[in-house]
Amino acid sequence: MLTPTQARVIDPILTTQSRGYQHPESVGHLIFPTASVSVRGGKRIEFNKESFKLYNTARAPGAATKRIDFGYQGVAYSLEQHSLEGKVPFEIMQEAGRVPGIDMGARAVRVVQDIMSLRKEYLQGTAARLAANYAGTNKVTLAGVNQWSDAGSNPKGDVNTAKEAIRANIGRYPNTMILGPKVFMDVSEHAAIKDQFKYTSADSITTEMLARYFNVEKVAIGKSIYADDNDAFVDIWGKDAVLAYVPMGQDGNMEVPSYGYTYQLDGTPYVETPYDERNAKSWFYPVTDEFSAELVGAEAGYLIQNATA
């Protein structure tokens, strides 16, 4: 019997175009970098204080060499399959064929990928903003005059508290901070922050300026939205701020201690060979992806809920 991998027929050109695609507004991959896995389920590698411990590596002549383990087997993970088909009616395909440079097949795949990328961003944002994922020392909920929308609030003090909580756990400061869109708007208008840059720049506050102000390597805005069941638009990253330590330049190596990873099945996403359906008078472009956003090192993160009103 054929395995699922053997049975599917892949369009190599469209699949190559789809690999590594990120929606331009996505930021979840910054704290949940992709780690390839060869099976759809298993035990995820998690990281605690032992993963960041300073070991005595000195060895006396003839003495046994010390050994370490990386991470430990945590809760089970199970990849979720996401599949969607892009539809291109025959008439549109025919008309597009008369205009040089228009590839309706590639466009259909890109539209599907945008939709699937939004789902991935939603799952990553949901995991990052779930308070139950964090210990009491690694989260705070702001209210009233402490929210960053209030002129008397202290964003830098709150972020410094978060940074120190992470450093106390893992011995490293967070290097990435994701802000909900309204959080970014309010901190960029905060008097204390504007005052910091008033003599050096007449420009509006940018994420690069905030990164310098908060002393983290990267600040990103979670701009993505989705429509709920009532067709009301909702910010995926809400009014929260998330700080995390994620090793830079280690994409794909889930053995390296990190706040989170997106476990991605080898060979995905892929685009199957397009097929036509006479009844619908259309071409269909099936795209499949299999992944799971996993928060594997909560001690390397800090959640600031309701950072703004």
Domains recognised in the chain with CATH numbers:
7-49+77-305 (3.90.1690.10)
Query: Assign residue 231 a region: left if phi > 0, alpha if psi is -120 to 50, beta otherwise?
Result: left
pLDDT-based confidence at residue 4 (cuts at 50, 70, 90): very low
CA distances from 125 to 19, 35, 73, 158, 169 (A): 22, 17, 24, 21, 23
**What average pLDDT does the segment 215-221 reach?**
98
pTM, two decimal places: 0.84
Mean pLDDT of all residues belonging to the chain = 87
**Predicted confidence (pLDDT) at residue 54 exceeds the cutoff of 80:** no
| Low-confidence winner among 18-22, 81-85, 209-213, 255-259 (lowest mean pLDDT) | 18-22
pLDDT-based confidence at residue 121 (cuts at 50, 70, 90): very high
pLDDT-based confidence at residue 7 (cuts at 50, 70, 90): very low
**Predicted confidence (pLDDT) at residue 289 exceeds the cutoff of 70:** yes
**What average pLDDT does the segment 255-266 reach?**
86
Query: Strand locations in the chain, DSSP E?
Result: 34-37, 41-46, 72-78, 80-89, 139-141, 176-179, 218-221, 225-227, 233-235, 241-244, 261-265, 270-271, 275-277, 282-294, 301-305
**Predicted confidence (pLDDT) at residue 95 exceeds the cutoff of 60:** yes
pLDDT of residue 280: 96
Reading the block at residue 126, the tokens are: 């949901």
pLDDT of residue 21: 57
CB 137 within 8 A of CB 270: no
**Predicted confidence (pLDDT) at residue 238 exceeds the cutoff of 50:** yes
pLDDT of residue 203: 83
